[in-house]
Amino acid sequence: MNFLAHAFLSFDQEKILVGNFIADFVKGRQIENFEEETKRGIFLHREIDLFTDSHPLVKAGQSYLRPKFGHYSTVITDVFFDYFLIKNWSEFSASTVEDFIQKTYNTLDRHEDIFPERFANMYYWMKKDNWLLHYGEVEGIRRSLTGMAKRTRFDSKMEQAHLALIEYEDEFEVIFFAFFRELETFARQKLSELASHS
Amino acid sequence: MIVIKPKISTYFSLSLIVVALLTGLIFILRDFAYKGSFGLWFYLIAASLITLVLLMLLVKMMAGFRFITAGRDQIIVKLPLRGFQKAYPIGDILVWEEEVVVANKKEFRQMTVAFSDQQSISISNHEHEAYHELVKYLRKKAGKKEIKNKKA
């Protein structure tokens, strides 16, 4: 999943949110440098991504993208899900998406000192350009995927993936609604499992 | 009032394919459980493939399952599967466009309407009834908001 979904699936738990955000930038034994609750956020992030990548409905969605974007389809669907999360925010939260995003930035700011360096560099731009909110617009999706395309070693064609969102918006929205509720239940359950094991 | 609803004939054909695929999947899984007539790889590949196609078909059917009523200067969108219903005044249309694709000498038309609250709807001439009436209605009521650029 992408950043906004990970923030939402941290269920307003401060250090879980931090761990959930930095997880992709924490490699190997570096995890031992973090305190227990942040570690749980990192583990939760990995469980969420594993659940998403192996879900049949997500795979069905990726079938629309695979002919053109190959294995980058997984990245693209993650970004698309953030788009639908913002688009249908009122169905998932009582607060506004703007308030939620601001709260997320405020929380992350309080823990800047533990950010891995690569994440800190990226977070600066994320906050400055308000990536989280812009995932709710096709133009924001285009910019985000174009940025990712520039960083890939091969020609991913991700800069054109927003066109697939426009073309298959209804299909992806059906998939999002069917999948995201299940993911929310899974993440909640996994988080309490992680808490009980520590 | 113009009522756009899913074409029964399209949904009937798709349902037949879904039933056929489901029967095939059940047959394969039963054969795997009780007989094992084929190698393991056959079951793994066939079952995954059929499940994927089945899901794609169901997603396609669910995505198109929408009812749109146009008239009295408003468009009412009803998505029964999501329990969503909303009436948009014509002024709430941001833009709309019709895309025409010719394939196998058949013309497929798809129209997308984007509303000011970031919601959008897409309907096509081969999946929905009264498609052409809605296009005419929009040309009359919101002609200035049409994007005319796609013809493939």
Instruction: Report pLDDT digits (tens) over B21-63.
Output: 999 999 999 999 998 888 899 999 999 999 999 999 999 889 8
Cβ–Cβ gap B55/A60 under 8 Å: yes
Residues of A in contact with B121 (CB under 8 A): 170
Domain extents in chain A: 3-197
Contact by Cβ (8 Å): A6, A21: yes
Q: Which letter does DSSP use for residue A115 in this model?
A: -
Q: Which long-range contacts (CB under 8 A, 24 or more apart) does A182-189 make?
A: A182/A55, A183/A1, A183/A5, A183/A9, A183/A48, A183/A51, A183/A52, A183/A55, A184/A9, A184/A92, A186/A47, A186/A48, A186/A51, A187/A9, A187/A11, A187/A44, A187/A47, A187/A48, A187/A51, A188/A11
Question: Residue B114, SS3?
Answer: strand
Q: State which residue of chain A sits closest to B55, comparing Cα positions.
A: A60
The 3-state DSSP class for residue B70 equals: strand
Query: Is B56's CB within 8 Å of A175's CB?
Result: no
Please indicate whether, in this complex, the C-beta atoms of B62 and A56 are within 8 angstroms of each other: no
A–B interface: beta-carbon pairs under 8 A: 35
Helices (H), A26-72: 36-53, 56-69
Q: Among residues A162, A169, A163, which one has the least CA distance to residue A140?
A: A162
Could you give the 3-state DSSP secondary structure of residue B95?
strand
Q: How far is A131 from chain B (nearest CA, A)?
A: 18
Is pLDDT of A15 > 80?
A: yes
Could you say which of A137, A166, A175 has the minimum Cβ distance to residue B59?
A: A175
What's the pLDDT at B110?
84
Nearest chain A residue to B57 by CA: give it: A60
Lowest-confidence range among A134-143, B66-75, B143-152?
Answer: B143-152
Percent of chain A having pLDDT more than 70?
99
B62:A136 CB<8 A: no
User: What does residue B107 show for φ and ψ, rounded to 5 degrees?
Assistant: -100, 120
The domain limits of chain B are 1-146
Q: A18-22, A121-125, B117-121: which has the minimum mean pLDDT?
A: B117-121
Whole-angstrom distance, CA of residue A39 vs CA of residue A3: 17
Q: In Å, how far is B122's CA from the nearest CA of chain A?
A: 7
The alpha carbon dihedral of A164, A168, A169, A172 has a sign of: negative
ipTM (interface pTM): 0.72
In the predicted model, is pLDDT for residue B152 greater than 70? no
What pLDDT score does A137 carry? Answer: 84
Asked if A83 and A165 count as a contact pair (C-beta separation under 8 A), the reply is yes
- Of residues B150 and A43, more confidently modeled: A43
Taking CB atoms and an 8 Å cutoff, what residues of chain B touch A174?
A: 59, 62-63, 81
Contact B52 A60 (CB under 8 A): yes
Q: Is A184 exposed, middle or buried (0-12, 13-18, 19+ CB in 10 A)?
A: middle
Q: Give the B-side interface with A, CB within 8 Å.
A: 51-52, 55-56, 59-60, 62-64, 81-82, 112, 118-122
Span A151-173, mean pLDDT? 85
For B93-147, write each residue's pLDDT tens digit.
988 988 887 777 778 888 888 888 877 888 888 878 888 899 999 999 888 888 8
To the nearest whole Å, the CA of A88 is away from the closest chain B CA by 9
Per DSSP bridges, beta strands B74-79 and B67-71 are antiparallel
Q: What is the pLDDT of residue A150?
A: 85
Residue B148 above 70 pLDDT? yes
B149 — pLDDT class (breaks 50, 70, 90):
low
Angle at CA A157, nearest 5°, toward A153 and A160?
A: 145
Question: How close does chain B come to A172, measured CA to CA in Å?
Answer: 8
User: CB distance A63–B112 less than 8 Å?
Assistant: no
3-class DSSP state for residue B113?
strand
CB A22 within 8 A of CB A173: no
